[in-house]
Chains A and B, each alone.
Chain A
Amino acid sequence: MTDFLRRLLRSPQGALGCLVVGLILIAVVFGPYLTHYGPEDMQALARYKGPSAEHWLGTDQYGRDIFSRLLDGARSTVLMAVVATVIGTLGGAIIGTGSAYLGGRSDEFIMRTNDAVMAIPSLLMALMVVSLLGSNSVNALLAIAIAFMPSMARISRSVALTVRKQDYVSAAIARGEGAPYIVLREMLPNVIAPIVVEMTIRVSFAVMLFATLSFLGLGAQPPATDWGLMVSEARQYLHRSYWILLWPSAAIALTAIGFNLLGDGLRDALNPRT
Chain B
Amino acid sequence: MNQSHNAKSMGNLVAQTLRRIPLNATILAPLVALILLFAVSSLASEYFLNSRNISNVLRQVSYTGIIAIGMTFVIIAGGIDLSVGSMVALVGVIVLYVVNAISDPIQAVILAMLAAVVAGSLLGLFNGLLVTRGRIAAFVVTLASMSIFRSLALYFTDAAEVTTRNPIFSNVGGGFFLGLPIPVWVFFGLAIVAHVLLFHTAYGRHVCAVGANPQVARYSGIRVERIVLSTFVIAGICVGLSAIMLTSRLNSVSPSDAGYFYELDAIAAVVIGGTALSGGRGSVWGTVIGALILGIINNMLNLTGVSPYLQGLVKGAVILLAVLLQYKRAP
Question: Do the two chains belong together in a single complex?
Answer: no
